[in-house]
Every structure is written in structure tokens, then in C-alpha cells.
Chain A
Amino acid sequence: MELYDILFWVLSAIAVSCALGVILSRNPVNSVLFLILTFFAISGHYVLMNAQFLAIVNIIVYAGAIMVLFLFVIMLMNLNADVEPQKGQLVQLAGVISGGILFLVVLASIKTAKAEIMDKTSTDIGLISNLGKVLFKEYVLPFEISSVLFLSAMIGAIVIGKKEEVKTSATAKMEHVSE
């Protein structure tokens, strides 16, 4: 076994077990920390594929920025395990069954899939110069169009985030009968 393979399996094990940790841990802060570890393991995979730029961007964007904000919000709200509403037994059972069926379907499709072996030697597509060329030639339209997406998200931050003069008693009256 080469170093490459050892690293691959170790990273994969970390990624999968931490991803499980995200959904299994009861404390939301622990979930976020597990998620950060998952991102690290995935970045490790990128490095193995000689895509250091992607690896680092993955860390900067997800582990460094988004997850920090996540942690921030979760710590501010001080969510704990006991705050989480408990679902009824029946709902849990239904969830387990339908999730299990979906899992079976995906598993069956992956099991019979034609798996392609990645070429370890000659992949330098992840290097920043190649990536830049692809991004600005072939994928220039999605690259530019996504600015519209960010623009609307920024407008959203302003529209939703900024304070508006609140009418206190009006809220209840404006509700309309429903259900």
C-alpha cells in the first residue's frame, strides 16, 4: 500500500464518520465542529488529486467563513439538546423507513454502477492556472451570471437585516384566519 492509498482511506474514513457525527450528535455546536472536520477531510482529498487551490478555497470559504458564522449564530442562540422538539414515535418510524428505502435505492444503483478509477498521475486540472483558464473560457457565463445571484442575496441581507420601525400591536391584528 502506497502512502497515497493510506491517506485516501484515512481521509475517507474521517469524512464519512464525521459526516455521521454531524447528524448524530445532539449538540448543534458539536455538529458544526464535525462538519468542519468533514470539510477538512474533503480538502485532503482535493490535495490528493493535486488540486491544492480547490482544497484551500474549500477551507477558506467553508471552514473559515461559513462555518464560523454558523458557530457564531448557534452560540448566540444557545441551542441545546433539550430545546430541540422531540418527534413522535410514529413520525420517527416513518422517517426511518422512507430514509432506508431511499438508501437502498441509491445503494443498489451505486453497487451496479460502472465505477471509474481515477487517474492518479496526470491530473493538474486543479492547479490554479488551469482552473482559471477553464473558468474564464468554457464556464465564463455561469461565472458571470452567479454575480446576479450574489447581488440578490446582498439585497436580501439589506431588506431583511435592516431595522424597520415596528408596530407592536398591529402584528396580531393583521393575521388572517387560517387553517
Chain B
Amino acid sequence: MKAIIATTVFGVIMMFAGLWVNDKKSIAGLATFLFAALLGVTIWDLTTTSVNSPKSLFNDMLRSEHYSLWFNTIMTGCSLLYVLLMGKEVQKVGKYVSEYFALIFFILCGLYLLSMYNNLLMMFIGIEILSIPQYILAGSDKRNLKSSEASLKYFLMGAFSTGILLMGITLLYGAARTFNITEMVTLMHSDALNPLALAGILFIMIAFSFKVSAAPMHMWTPDVYDGSPTVFTAFMATVVKSAAFFAFLRLFQVSFNSLSEHWVMVLAIITAATLLVGNVTAVFQQSVKRMLAYSSIAQAGFMLFAVLAVNAVAWQGIIIYAVAYSVATIGIFAVLVKLKDYTYDGFNGLAQREPLLAFVTTIFLFSLAGIPLTGGFMAKYYVLLAVVQQGQLMWLVIFALLMAAISVYYYFRVIIAMYFKAGTPEISSPVTGGDKFMLVVTCALVILLGVLPQLFLTKV
């Protein structure tokens, strides 16, 4: 709860900073400081809540369970990492630097709501708070037509999926007569089931699939991720997506667990389609940024495994996947914004010119592909383990492994371009010592995740 208040206040502080501070650098510095402070607040929240007794807040609107607070802390840490790596690039997007940071703080407010909600109303508000700043950030580069297109497309699609979500919530309310997701559980048994609830679950599932860009509803993702300013794509594809997944998992784990026989197959097909579309289409991309958009769809397919497996390991899986994926992707985007040309050819010969950049990029790509000793491997291991423990859907696990093998192809294309092709990559902004230090830290995090994943896990 303290984190929600803090992030709102910090957002407002950033808004006023835009009024009083004209220097973009000091605004970014202030934002970095506030993100660090926010991390402190989330840790404070975490340490003051006991593991076994979740606190119910405001008539059970929120429930601060330990794993929610842990997720909050980790995602705030990722945001801090993001600002440290890319704070400089945010300044280049446009005039309203302080507003961009304010919006990111508000997004984090939505994230905290989504990790702690215990009421469908709070979930809805959380999703909206998460989404609306993103539409704005997507369109923040007003000199670029593609950015405006991305913003509009994202907004229209998002508004549409929100409508579907509301429809689902309405049907669910009609069946359960409550918005409270834990009270709802008593009505969610196959014998006393109102069929309206099933339709509601279907609608909510579709809406969440929109938000996390799962396969039949993924159409907006490549255009939006490609068109938005690269710095903001990095944030959208990582922290925000993880938050949507966490909310997805929370609702389906807490409320619809006992009904899993009804929806598991639908979600399994969505997962398979997501893996297929994401991985196969990524192979054919010429732009690395667009490839990363498709790869984020593919990674969403893996994260869906956590939702599919309705057990305790799923929580650990989603958290470790979220952090592994976020850190690696933020790292890659941090390298990407340094380059002028986003095609594969733009990476040609990077190993000669900037050997360190090439090395960390390789590690990040290893992680995304799921090579052992990196965070990505452990993440994939945990989510697949969760499903295997359920003892069903083995075909899907095998299919996922196959798709992971395909993903190696397009991730390694970048590595091949960097190390084995000649060329002189154009660097748009100089790589300073600070940048290198932060990249090495990120890289270390990725490896740490792969070696000691227990550090990032919590008891559920």
C-alpha cells in the first residue's frame, strides 16, 4: 500500500519538476533518485508484511500477499535498472521528459494494483492505469508518423479489449453477484455453476490475451513495438507485460482454479498458437526491433504456461520468468538504442568496434533463447516444470521445446552478424563508461539468475 501512495506522489513530483526544472539531465537524475526511493519503499512494504498472513486492505479491495509484494519489489528493481540504462535516451524522445517519467511512475501504480488486487474493480482500474500511459508513451515521438500510428493502433485495440474485459466482468458479476475474487471461489464449482460465469471467463481470457499479446490477439504487437520510441518499447515489452501476466495468473489461479477443466484447453490452444506465430514469424524479420517484438510474443507463449499450470510452482515460474525476460530484454534494447540502423546488417562488425557491447548482447540473447547458465534457461525450466507437475498437456511442453529450438535461429542471427560479418555499425550516441558499467551489471544479473535462481524466488 505504501508503494502505491509513494509512486503516485512521485509521479506528481515529476509533473511539477517539469514546471520548475528546465534541465533535462537533472530531471532524469531526479527520476533515477525517485525510482531508487520507490525500490526502498517496496522493500519496506515487503519486510513489514509477514509471509503467512496476507493483509486485506480497504474492504478487501487489495490483499498484500507476500508473493505480490515480492513481485512489486522485483519489478520496481527492473524499472530502476531500466532508468539507469536508458534514462539518457528518454531525454532524446521529446520535450516532455518529466511527463514521460511521471507516466512511468503511474504505470508502476497500475502494476502494484494488478499484483495485489482482490476485487475485479481494482483489476479493471489497474489495467487501465497500466494501459493509458502506454498509449501516450507510444505516441510520444510526434515527429515520427509511425509513432503516432503505433499509439492510435494500440489505443484502439486496447480500448476494444477493455470493452471485452468489462463484458466479461459483467457476466461474471451476474453469475457470482460479487466482484471479490476470493469470495467468488465458493461459486466456482462445476456443480453449482451458472453458465454465465463460463462466458465471463472466456471474455476475460480473451481480453487478457490481448493485453499480453497472445496469438490470435497479437496483431497489434509488432506494429506498436516497432513504431513506438525504442526506449518506451523496452518498458512496454518487459515490466508492463509481466504485470499483465501476473494479473492474468492471479485471477485464474485464485478464482477459476476449480474450473480449470473448462478453460485449460482453450488456453492451451492459445499458448500453442502464440508459440508458433511468435517464433515462426520472428524468423522472417529483417529488423531486430521487429524481431524482438515477435520474440516478445514468443516469450508470452512461455509465460502462458504459468497460467496454464494452476499450482504453486506457477507463481515462482511467473516471477522468475518475468525478471529474467525483463532484464535480458531491457539489456538488448539498451544496446539497440545505441545503434542507428535497427536491421540485422546494422549489427555487422559490432564485435570489432564495441567488443563489450557485442559480448553483453550475446549473453542477453543467450538468456532469451534459454541457453543454460543464463536466467532464461531457469525461467523456461520453472514454467515448464509447473505444467509437467500438473501431469497433463505434455504435448504442449514438447511443442514448446521445439519452438525454443527455432528461436535459437533468429537470436543467433544477431550474434553471427556481430561476430562473423564485416561492417562498421553506426553508433547514434557514444557509449560512455557508465553505460558499459550498467550493461555489465545487467549481464551479471542475467548470469546470476541462471546460476542462483533461488535468490529471486520467494516462498509461496
A: residues with CB less than 8 A from B are: 105-106, 108-110, 112-114, 137-142, 145-146, 148-149, 151-153, 155-156, 158-160, 164, 166-167, 170-171, 174-179
Contacts and interface: CB of A to CB of B under 8 A. Distances in A.
B343 A152 contact: no
B190 interface: no
Contacts of B106: 148, 151-152, 155
Contacts of A174: 143-144
Given A148-B8, A152-B106, A166 B143 contact: yes
Given A141-B57, A148-B8, A177-B287, A160 B142 contact: yes
Nearest to A164: B142
Contacts of A164: 94-95, 142-143
Nearest to A138: B59
Contacts of A140: 58
B140 A159 contact: yes
A137 to B, nearest CB: 8
Contacts of A175: 144-146
Contact of A148 (B59, B61, B129): B129
B288 to A, nearest CB: 9
A113 B132 contact: no
Contacts, number: 124
Nearest to B7: A148
B143 A156 contact: no
Contacts of B224: none
A153 B128 CA distance: 10
A142 B96 CA distance: 29
Interface string B207-227: 000000000000000000010
Given A113-B196, A114-B194, A141-B58, A160 B136 contact: yes
The 4 closest A-B pairs by CB, nearest first: A156-B136, A109-B199, A141-B58, A109-B195
Given A141-B61, A145-B113, A113 B194 contact: yes
B289 A176 contact: yes
Given A160-B136, A174-B144, A178-B290, A105 B199 contact: yes
A178 B226 contact: yes
Contacts of A160: 136, 139-140, 142, 151
A175 B290 CA distance: 13
A104 to B, nearest CB: 11
27 contacts: A106-B199, A109-B198, A113-B175, A113-B194, A137-B59, A140-B58, A141-B61, A142-B61, A145-B113, A145-B125, A145-B129, A148-B8, A148-B129, A149-B129, A152-B106, A152-B132, A153-B132, A159-B94, A159-B99, A159-B136, A164-B94, A170-B143, A171-B143, A176-B341, A177-B287, A178-B226, A178-B287
